[in-house]
Amino acid sequence: MKNRLIYIIAIVLMAVATSCVENPNVTEDVYIQNPNAVKSWVVGLQRQLALTTNTVNINVAITSDNYFNNYSQYSKVFDMLQIDYFDTDVNNIQGDVQALREMAIYGIETVFPSDEDGTNEDLAFMYFCLGYSNILGGELFTGLPATTLGEVLDSEQTLMLAIDQLDEALSYESDAQLMATYHLLKARVYYDLGDASNAIIEANQALSVPELLFQVEFDGTNALANEMQNATFDALPNRLAPLPRLDFLDPKYYSVGTISTDQKSVTLVKAEEAYLILAEAALANNNISNAKNYLLDLLNLVNARSTAFVDDSGETRNGGVRTDYPLTAVQVRFDAMSEFRDGFVLDRQAGDVVVHTISGTSVNATMINNTTTVEEVLYLTYLMRQEIFMSEGRRLTDLGIKYPISQTEQDNNPNVSDAFTTAQIPSYIPVDDIDDFTVDANGNVTMSVDMNRVIIENRATTTTVPFF
């Protein structure tokens, strides 16, 4: 389509319905003949990566047990696990994931071959974005087309595409940090697919950079703010309330001074994931000792990550329908059969609170050393996964929840059957209790359900704990 609009900085796609918007002034031919077309396209990809990250983070946080939407700004039905294919939020998530995919494909197939100044590193980034879009597609959706209006691939097929695309990224990349990033993303895909052997190989290669960290940057002065930061810190009232046992990890993102100039980055890839994968793989082989050692190494890394002291006294968790969120340092138990514990809910009026900007966890070395069974170590592994990936859009995969293909896609794509328009919500998930808790006369909190315990009890299913 020779006359489709190409934005020099970013392209806006409704990928589930159309791949172009007409503009008589900026055509494809004009764009690709401009100097530094590849460089500007990469900038556009970076922007779309940030936009996609925003959409995924907010909606995954609400859909999962990590956060409750205690306001009206975002979806109110995802908290109830009402996930309909006609929901506009489902369409928005899919649209941003596929926009990243379409921009990457266009950059690889059209922009890069037309610009002699494009570098191998630019091409590697395009392949990374393509691979990452398919990781999101495979992890978050029951199925997606791999091309605009194309045949629908199921989750496994979509993830397999990402392997080849990340291999392409590796073939063009020379930076050690980025190569380790792509290896760890491959480890994630093999983990999702239940392929422990390849996941172990890729995780170990990623650990060649021991403190690996790859983040997406935001720019509040140019209308690209970190929406998770807005929802959990900047906006008053704060719109999302964390599960009380995760209160100590909120907020991960914060601002000091002028909000627009202090937008925190979001982590997409970090070395912590390699240790979690290696620990689960060891447990699948009944090697408790090795798994515990991996978790202890992981704990050392988490404890070395940066923290900050932040004034969060504006947090009152009073945005909407639920008014019993604890605001002082009360005790919490993970379910009615657990013991009450301290340290999960912070008293934000007593002074600055510690913010874990990369990773944080309630697990300590004594807890790891005291475990004796596969089930006990696996439970700590999934508790650490939840805590370490807090506010990073990762929790749905552990729960086994997937969004359906949107109605917009089905209305425009004859390849979409009804089989893909129903959300995947495993039967072991207690829909009414996933975010719920009670508060006793002393203000102490009891969670209705410990979802990590539920995950471990259902590890033999096909929707969670992939190495078992």
- 200-214, 312-326, 402-416, 428-442: least confidently modelled range: 312-326
- 154-168, 260-274, 315-329, 337-351: least confidently modelled range: 315-329
Predicted pLDDT at 215: 98
Judge residue 25's burial from the number of C-beta atoms within 10 Å of its C-beta, 0-12 exposed, 13-18 middle, 19 or more buried: exposed
pLDDT at 163 over 80: yes
Asked if 267 contacts 358 with a C-beta cutoff of 8 angstroms, the reply is yes
Q: How far apart are CA 146 and CA 166, in angstroms?
A: 15
Predicted pLDDT at 319: 65
Q: How far apart are CA 178 and CA 169, in angstroms?
A: 9
Q: How far apart are CA 255 and CA 352, in angstroms?
A: 13
Asked if 206 contacts 271 with a C-beta cutoff of 8 angstroms, the reply is yes
Predicted pLDDT at 238: 79
The band of 89, judged by pLDDT with boundaries at 50, 70 and 90, is very high
Helix and strand tally (H, E) in the chain?
Answer: 15, 11
The band of 26, judged by pLDDT with boundaries at 50, 70 and 90, is low
Report the pLDDT averaged over residues 7-31.
Answer: 45
Torsion of CA 302, 303, 306, 310, to 10 degrees: 110
**330-347, pLDDT tens digit by residue?**
999 999 999 999 999 999
pLDDT at 1 over 60: no
The band of 14, judged by pLDDT with boundaries at 50, 70 and 90, is very low
Locus of tokens 């760890």: 184
Asked if 256 contacts 233 with a C-beta cutoff of 8 angstroms, the reply is no
Q: How far apart are CA 392 and CA 109, in angstroms?
A: 30
Q: Which amino acid, one-letter code, is at 89?
A: D
Closest CA to 124 of 48, 66, 175, 61: 175
pTM: 0.94
Give how far Cα 326 sits from Cα of 75, 124, 201, 434, Å: 23, 47, 44, 18
Q: Is 440 helix (H, G, I), strand (E, B) or coil?
A: coil
Predicted pLDDT at 71: 83
The band of 3, judged by pLDDT with boundaries at 50, 70 and 90, is very low
Asked if 290 contacts 200 with a C-beta cutoff of 8 angstroms, the reply is no
Closest CA to 448 of 144, 51, 68: 68
Q: How far apart are CA 334 and CA 23, in angstroms?
A: 56
Q: How far apart are CA 215 and CA 232, in angstroms?
A: 19
**Rounded to an integer, what is the distance from CA 133 to the centroid of its chain?**
12
The tokens for 329 are 């340092």
Q: Is 265 helix (H, G, I), strand (E, B) or coil?
A: coil
pLDDT at 323 over 90: no
The tokens for 291 are 């798994």
Closest CA to 285 of 377, 180, 223: 377
- 29-38, 106-115, 274-283: least confidently modelled range: 29-38
Which residues 6+ apart lie within 8 Å of 98 measured at CB?
A: 13, 15, 16, 133, 137, 144, 148
Instruction: Quickly list H helices, 260-343.
Output: 272-284, 288-304
Closest CA to 252 of 355, 141, 370: 355
The full set of domains in the chain, from first to last, is: 28-62+81-219+243-457 (1.25.40.10)
- 83-87, 141-145, 226-230, 233-237: least confidently modelled range: 233-237
Average of per-residue pLDDT values in the chain = 93
pLDDT at 420 over 70: yes
**247-269, pLDDT tens digit by residue?**
999 999 999 999 999 999 999 99
Report the pLDDT averaged over residues 39-61.
Answer: 97
Give the whole-number percent of the chain exceeding pLDDT 70. Answer: 94
Give how far Cα 109 sits from Cα of 78, 115, 133, 158, Å: 37, 11, 16, 19
pLDDT at 6 over 50: no
**221-249, pLDDT tens digit by residue?**
999 999 999 999 999 877 899 999 999 99
**385-416, pLDDT tens digit by residue?**
999 999 999 999 999 999 999 999 999 999 99
Asked if 97 contacts 136 with a C-beta cutoff of 8 angstroms, the reply is yes
Predicted pLDDT at 54: 98
